[in-house]
Structure 1
Amino acid sequence: MNSTTVTVTTWSLEQTSPADLNPAAVPEGDDIRIVRAEVPSPEFSRFLYASVGGDIQWIDRLALTYAQWEEILDRPGVETWVAYDRGTPAGYVELDPQDDGTVEIMYFGLIPAFRGRRIGGHLLSYGVQRAWDLAERWPERTPTKRVWLHTCSLDGPYAMDNYLRRGFRLFDTKTAEEPDVPTPGPWAGAQG
């Protein structure tokens, strides 16, 4: 079998102080609410993951079992914040705290139909604020000293610009050859 590869560049970015955050404006005229999904739900989290990442090759979690999703979501301090546009999920940010006071923005993005409406900057700003004050909701967690994330050349064309505008600084760049897999879409047959 002949497999093809694609060159993927991955950038890691960080903030080391809450003062680093340059929040985006709240989108005008839209009824955008951001709400924490307080009840861990593998079904809902998988829906968000597949819907946001289906067209940009988010595939790492698609093969996880229900129990594996539960294990990820049940860790103390893991939070999912969902943006809603008039009651419809538009995107999400998933926070993953570590024991050393570092919080990774594990996943962040918008469902394709909601991109290009200035919701992403607002959702990212809100998610970063929640990463910085995470220990207030989880007293057993170490106060946040650093918020970081990674993005890659497969992500949306405005992702890196959004991160830089929010005050993230680049601290690492890696390039690797990865299998060129078909983009699955948010459900079977979505790309066909």
Structure 2
Amino acid sequence: MSDSYTTYYLDMLYPEQVRAKSLPDDLLILECEIKQFQLNRFLYQLVGGPWQWTDKLNWTDQQWQALVESDNHRTWVAWHKGAIVGYYELLRDAQGAVEILYFGLVESFFGRGFGGLLLSHALQSAWAWPGTRRVWVHTCSLDHPSALANYQARGMQIYCEEVTSIG
């Protein structure tokens, strides 16, 4: 095991930069227009479990509710044949920068081509949000091996890298 990891910050400044994959008929992606913080907590654990997403595991209901019910926070869930494929959350700041706050697939859907499709949808949704001036995300070398390549294949570019020592 390495004694460090690298965090990559990627962004996109124009909607024309999106290199989208077309959605197949059997993948349904719906926005959670009725906000339920319990759903976001469940999705965070379902998708983030294999990657040791831990920063929000000890959050209270009030913390989850404050994030999810904010006007600057939106969530989409992807479905295939009635099962949850994955999800993403967008968070916009006052300057119009939209962060892909969380993005990922359920482990049983890895390797089936859904990552590029869901990321395409996330980028298009971010740019369709009125007032968006920039879309950004961060990932790290501890994430799924295809994560960084997926972001880059959809048109995002690295603008910063940080190496963090472990231990």
Mapping 1:1-192, distance limit 5 Å = 6-27=3-24, 31-135=26-130, 143-178=131-166
Question: What is the alpha-carbon distance in structure 2 between the residues aligned to residue 161 and residue 109 of structure 1?
Answer: 14
Q: Is the 8 A contact 1:77 1:134 kept in 2?
A: no
For residue 121 of structure 1, what is the amino acid of its counterpart? G
TM-score after normalising by structure 1: 0.83
TM-score after normalising by structure 2: 0.95
Q: Is the 8 A contact 2:31 2:77 kept in 1?
A: yes
Instruction: Give the deviation of 1:85 after TM superposition.
Output: 0.7
Question: What is the alpha-carbon distance in structure 2 between the residues aligned to residue 150 and residue 171 of structure 1?
Answer: 10
* Number of equivalenced pairs: 167
Q: Is the 8 A contact 2:31 2:76 kept in 1?
A: yes
Q: 1:177 to 1:74 in 2, by over 3 A?
A: same
Question: Could you say what secondary structure the match of 1:61 adopts?
Answer: coil
Q: Is the 8 A contact 1:95 1:104 kept in 2?
A: yes
Name structure 2 gaps, 5 residues minimum: none
Name structure 1 gaps, 5 residues minimum: 136-142, 180-192
Question: Could you say what secondary structure the match of 2:161 adopts?
Answer: strand
For residue 161 of structure 1, what is the amino acid of its counterpart? A
Q: Larger Rg: 1 or 2?
A: 1
